[in-house]
Amino acid sequence: MREYVALFKLRIVALLVFVALVSAVIASKGAFYPERVLILFIAGALASIGASILNHYFDRDIDALSDRTKNRPIPSGRVAPHRACWLGIALVLLSILISSRLNYLTAMYILGGALVYVVVYTIWLKRRSVLNIVIGGAAGSCAVLAGYAAMEGNTSLAAILVALLIFLWTPPHFWAFAIVHKRGYQQASVPMLPVTHGSRRAARLIMMHTILLVQASLLLYALGYFGIVYFTVAAISGLVFAGINARLLLTPSKSWAWKSYKFSGIYLIAIFTAMLLDTVFKQA
């Protein structure tokens, strides 16, 4: 069982489910609908876990080439590939069946997120294009759209703008990780930006995406979707994130890339928590 759990990528699953649930609370304007939230939680978790397993399945050959990933359950032979494949497919299909109890738009976004991650990112782009993680970032955006759709039954401008944050956040998050693990990607011949264009070019694009991300986060306040609690957290955390990546730009080392990678996760959790608190306070 431990070997199968290792395929789940639980940190990514937890982050996506958190984003989806916060988006649902925002869409419902602080109201709590236990049944809808539970269905969204279960469906989102199953889809994310299923997609993660399929990512391991399709990456098993290149995982065997990298020192960082060669001991994963499938390339090491501890989990049979065909079993992992069928389990991943079954979990994604089950998630669609469960999420359809909410509405078909929510089910569509949950399925879309899984397909983008597995088909578009893992199978198509990861081995072929330096834009792999840029376009693949749309998978995370689907979690936001699913959360809004679960409550609103449609796709509002607010949902699109919040989803944009995930889309802009994903490349700097994973490019920083790729700088740290550049050798592993080189061993597997995966064209991540630091491998194809070098760490310094990657640091420049990380900084550019960070600026766009912070601007997009403040736009939500400027348009009146969130209040002063959100603005304060978004502004302060955005300045810290930009400061770390400015230092990475000056010194594109593994140590600063690791700091950028770690803080990017804190940043995302902070601004979504601020959205949640702001929404709850408005209704109090």
One domain for residues 173 and 79: no
pLDDT of residue 281: 86
pLDDT of residue 121: 97
One domain for residues 202 and 279: yes
Q: How far is CA 115 from CA 12, 52, 253, in A?
A: 16, 11, 34
pLDDT of residue 59: 98
Domain C-terminal end among 132, 153, 174: 153
Give the chain's domain count: 2
Could you tell me which of 5, 11, 8 has the C-alpha nearest to residue 265? 11
Q: How far is CA 194 from CA 6, 42, 121, 172, 257, in A?
A: 27, 36, 17, 11, 11
pLDDT of residue 284: 60
Q: Rounded to an integer, what distance in angstroms lies between the CA atom of residue 44 and that of residue 248?
A: 34
Q: Rounded to an integer, what distance in angstroms lies between the CA atom of residue 252 and that of residue 78?
A: 37
Mean pLDDT by 10 residues, the chain (284 residues): 93 97 93 92 98 98 96 97 98 98 97 97 96 94 98 95 98 98 96 97 98 98 96 98 98 97 98 95 74
One domain for residues 99 and 32: yes
For residue 94, the domain's CATH number is: 1.10.357.140
One domain for residues 226 and 96: no
One domain for residues 174 and 127: no
Provide the domain limits for residue 240: 156-284
One domain for residues 116 and 229: no
